[in-house]
Amino acid sequence: MTRVGIIGIGHGQFGRRSDATVQELAFEAFREAIQDAQIDPKDIDGTVIGSVPEYHKQRSLPGVVQEYLNLNPTPTWLTEVACASGSAAIRTAWMGIRSGAHRLMAVIGCQKMTELSTPEILALMGRVGEVQWESIFGTTFPAYYAMFAQSHMHEYGTTREQLLLVAVKNHFYGAKNPNALFRKEITIEKALASDPVSDPFQVYDCCANADGAACVILASEEIAKESSKPVAWLDGVGCATASMSVLRRPSLTGLPSAETAALTAYEMAGVGPKDIKVAEVHDCFTIAEIMAYEDLGFCEKGAGGRFIEDKQSYIGGQTPVNVDGGLKAKGHPIGATG
């Protein structure tokens, strides 16, 4: 089987994009990616769209994006796995090229989170959780992750200050990212003074929805070796699932699916956690990043709070994490970031 490499990347502006449709957002990222890869889009033999179409007025998203990008009749697929849609789209294309069925594929994550009203968005997000036994009683995602945070604080002594230090770090790096939604630094004092959301969370513990798109161009080893630019090889890819219901999870202090996926990827690539030079993790809430430190093996279980307090996830620390600002500062257009 062929190796798969990333030969081009594109990233649009995240924010409240009333100036662009979801197709136009996709085009922004796609155009930048093909220019970065220095390829002719006519050579692309497949595309994968990562998105959650329910958030759009346009339901059948891959077809309209494909047409707008002038890629017909090239085949296209949609991957929708809630907040993992973007990474799932990359894995789908990776499998397509690795198997030999495709040689050059575009993966486009695109999401327009502001087309629907706030009540409509909240209703949709409420149904992402386990509807039969949990969401029906009003459980929201801030409440889910607040339970994780409370459990982590109870079991390991993690503090509110340590949680909010994640936000301080991510806003520090978001201020340097021209594509980020929030481009201002914050202090721990400002974060601690913000309004409550779901105990122990405050406003700065939570990411913000946004419109935006991102794109990567994946190529077979044969094509990638022709690139005049450095290639990022996808030598280790892992994925896993876990119970949707928190009632059936053995612990609320970590995400077992993330741990399993990481172990799979490490083994495939022949590396370990200490070999990782930089990481992008899901930080929809501050506790999510702290749990990721632990689940990915960057520190021991329960040590995530100290990891951020000691600035080990900053550039210059042990493992820099989310140095683009993460979801917390960059914004969270689900298909483009998950």
Q: For position 105, what pLDDT does the model report?
A: 99
Q: Could you tell me if residue 338 is inside a domain?
A: no
Please state, in angstroms and as integers, the Cα–Cα distance from residue 137 to each residue in 126, 147, 303, 334, following that order.
10, 15, 33, 24
Q: For position 140, what pLDDT does the model report?
A: 83
151 & 82 share domain: no
Q: Could you tell me if residue 301 is inside a domain?
A: yes
Tally the domains of the chain.
2
20 & 153 share domain: no
Q: Could you tell me if residue 337 is inside a domain?
A: no
Residue 223 to residue 7: CA distance in whole angstroms: 9
177 & 191 share domain: yes
Q: Return the ∠ at Cα 55 (arms to 50 and 61), rounded to 5°.
A: 50
104 & 86 share domain: yes
75 & 224 share domain: yes
**In this structure, what CATH number is given to the domain that contains residue 162?**
3.40.47.10
pTM for the predicted model, two decimal places = 0.94
Q: Could you tell me if residue 336 is inside a domain?
A: no
Phi, psi of 108 (to 5 degrees): -125, 120
Q: Could you tell me if residue 59 is inside a domain?
A: yes
Q: Could you tell me if residue 317 is inside a domain?
A: yes
162 & 307 share domain: yes
Task: Say whether 191 sits in a helix, a strand or coil.
Answer: helix
28 & 99 share domain: yes
pLDDT in tens, 70-83: 999 999 999 999 89
Q: Which two tokens stand for residue 200?
A: 């122990």
Residue with tokens 């969370």: 201
Residue 132 to residue 245: CA distance in whole angstroms: 10
36 & 161 share domain: no
242 & 99 share domain: no
161 & 83 share domain: no
Residue with tokens 């481009």: 183
107 & 167 share domain: no
264 & 280 share domain: yes
Q: For position 122, what pLDDT does the model report?
A: 77
Per-residue pLDDT of the chain (338 residues; tens, 9 = 90+): 899 999 999 999 999 999 999 999 999 999 999 999 999 999 999 999 999 988 888 888 999 999 999 999 999 999 999 899 999 999 999 999 999 999 999 999 999 998 888 888 878 877 777 788 877 777 888 999 999 999 999 999 999 999 999 999 999 999 999 999 999 999 999 999 999 999 999 999 999 999 999 999 999 999 999 999 999 999 999 999 988 888 888 899 999 999 999 999 999 999 999 999 999 999 999 999 999 999 999 999 999 999 999 999 999 999 999 999 999 999 999 999 97
Bridge pairing between strands 232-233 and 212-220: unpaired
Q: Could you tell me if residue 131 is inside a domain?
A: no
Q: Could you tell me if residue 241 is inside a domain?
A: yes
Q: Where are the alpha helices (DSSP H) in 19-74?
A: 22-37, 61-68
Q: Which residues are catalytic?
A: 83, 332
Task: Give residue 267's domain range.
Answer: 138-204+237-326
